[in-house]
Amino acid sequence: MTKTDSAQAMRTKSPASEKVTLTFDENGQQKSYHLPLLTGNLGPKVIDIRDLYAKTGYFTYDPGFTSTASCDSAITYIDGENGILLHRGYRIEDLAEHCDFLEVAYLLLHKELPTQKQFEDYHHEISLHTLLHEQLINFYKGFRRDAHPMAIMVGVVGALSAFYHDSLDLHNPYQRELASTRLIAKIPSMAAIAYKYSIGHPFMYPHNKLKYAENFLHMMFAVPSYEYQVNPVLAKAMNRILVLHADHEQNASTSTVRLASSSGANPFACIAAGIASLWGPAHGGANEAVLNMLTEIGDKSRIPEFIKRAKDKNDPFRLMGFGHRVYKNYDPRAQVLRKSCHEVLQELGIKDEPLLGIALELEKIALDDPYFIEKKLFPNVDFYSGIILKAMGIPTSMFTVLFAVARTIGWVAQWREMIEDPIQKIGRPRQRYVGHEQRNFMPLNQR
C-alpha cells in the first residue's frame, strides 16, 4: 500500500470488532445499538453513526459540528491540544521555513513533495495560466472603486465558471486538473487586480519568471512607469504567509467548499462560496479585525480596559486574534509569524511600530490572565499576520483576500479529495425542529 492510499487505509484500519454501545429507554423498554468505532492514522477515534437514524429513528445534535467528522481526509492533521499542524505528515514549521508555496501546493494536491524536476514542471504549468481573460477584466470595471475587494473576489471567481466551460465536468479527471491549475494560477492575478482597481492604478500583468509569492508582490506593487525589484525579505515573508494559510482541515470555508460541491456544482462556483465564508470576521476576516482592534486600543495604557471588556459576558467584544475552535494551545502558525514579523519590521526599518508594541503587550497580559488561561485562549495566526501585511504596505481590506489566495490550494485539494472519494454523497445535515406544530391556515381577510 502506498502513502497515497492513506484515506482508504483509515477506513479499513479499525478491527471490525471495535464498537460502542448506545443504550436508551424506548417506551419503558431498554434498547441497545452497536455502532462501529473507526480509527484514523492519528487523532481521536470516530463513532460511525451513518445508520443511526435508520436503526433508531434518532438524529444526533451537534451545532457548529464541534464533535462531528464529516469526511475522511489525508491532507491535514491538527492536534489542537499540543499545537501541532501537519500537511501530508510534514510539520508546518518545516514547510514554512524551507518550501516555496508551489512546493506546498504540489504536496497538498499530489500527495508527495515534488522533486526538483517536478517542481520546475509544476511552476511552468501554473505559469501558463496566470493571465486572466481580457473580458473578465471588464468585470472589475463594473464595481464601485470603494467596493470591498472580497466582494469583488466572490463575483469574479464565481464568474470564471462562465469562461471555462471546458473544465466544469467534475467527473472528468483531466477537467478537474485543468480547473485546479486555473484556479491556483489565476487567483493571485485576480486579487492584485482587485487592489489595483481600488486605487485607480493600471493592472500589472503577471511576470512568470518570478516565484509565486514574488509574482504576487510584483502584481500588487509594480507600476508600468518604474522598474520594480521584489525585496527578498518581503518575498520570503509573503511566501511564509501563503504557506501558513494553505490549508487547515475542515474549517468553515473548506466545509463550505465541500458542501457546495457535494451537489455537483462546478469548482469555480464552489471556490467563490469558500471565499464568501472566509470573509467573516470569525474566520478569515480576523486579521483585519485584529488591526482594527489594535488601532482602536491605540495605546498600551488602554489594554486593561479592553481585556476587561473581552471578559465581560454582557459585552459582545472579543479579543481578536485570540482563541481557536481547534487549537487549545499556541497556534504553531502564530509562532512562525511572530518571528517573521520582527524580520519584516527590521528589514523595513520600522522601529517602535506602535501597533506591534500594543500587540506584544496585549499578548503578554492575556497569556497571564486566568480567564484566557482557563479557556485556553492563545494567539492565533491572525494575531501577527495583520501587522506584517500592514508593514508591507498591504491595505487592511486586502488581508482576507490574501488569505483566500493561499487557501485556494487547500480548497482545491479538499475538493478533489472529496470528488475522488467513493463514499462521497451530497451533504445534507438534519435539524431539531423547534417551530410551530401543524396549524390551520387563515386567509388574509380573516387574520
Specify whether the CB–CB gap between 409 and 184 falls below 8 A: yes
CA-to-CA dists, residue 104 to 235, 289, 294, angstroms: 16, 28, 32
State which residue, 160 or 257, has the beta carbon closest to ligand ACO.
257
Minimum distance, C-beta of residue 172 to ligand ACO, in the bound complex (Å): 33
Q: Position 131: which residue type?
A: L
State which residue, 289 or 356, has the beta carbon closest to ligand ACO.
289
Active-site residue flag, 171: no
Specify whether the CB–CB gap between 287 and 380 falls below 8 A: no
Minimum distance, C-beta of residue 317 to ligand ACO, in the bound complex (Å): 8
| Contact flag: residue 373 with ligand ACO (CB under 6 A) | no
| Contact flag: residue 400 with ligand ACO (CB under 6 A) | no
| Contact flag: residue 318 with ligand ACO (CB under 6 A) | yes
Number of residues that bind ligand ACO (CB under 6 A): 18
Q: Sheet containing 29-38: give its strands across.
A: 19-26, 29-38, 46-47
Give me the half-sphere count of Cα atoms (radius 13 Å) on the Cβ side of residue 198. Answer: 21
Among 278, 283, 309, 312, which residue's Cα sits nearest to residue 296? 309
Among 193, 320, 337, 413, binds ligand ACO (CB under 6 A): 320
Range 245-284, binding ligand ACO (CB under 6 A)? 282-284
Minimum distance, C-beta of residue 182 to ligand ACO, in the bound complex (Å): 25
| Contact flag: residue 339 with ligand ACO (CB under 6 A) | no
Per-residue cell: 186: 489565476
CA distance 380 to 320: 9
Q: Exactly one of 123, 283, 324, 331 is catalytic; which is it?
A: 324
| Contact flag: residue 325 with ligand ACO (CB under 6 A) | yes
Residues linked to residue 29 through DSSP beta bridges, in sequence order: 26
Per-residue cell: 7: 484515506
- Phi-psi label, residue 443: left if phi above 0, alpha if psi -120 to 50, beta otherwise: beta
Interface characters, 375-394, with ligand ACO (x: CB under 6 A)? x-x--xxx------------
Q: Exactly one of 352, 382, 421, 436 is catalytic; which is it?
A: 382
Active-site residue flag, 382: yes
Specify whether the CB–CB gap between 72 and 376 falls below 8 A: no
DSSP string computed for 247-268: --SS-HHHHHHHHHHTTT--HH
State which residue, 206 or 321, has the beta carbon closest to ligand ACO.
321
State which residue, 73 or 253, has the beta carbon closest to ligand ACO.
253
Range 172-231, binding ligand ACO (CB under 6 A)? none
The catalytic site residues sit at 324, 382
Residues that bind ligand ACO (CB under 6 A): 282-284, 286, 310, 318-325, 375, 377, 380-382
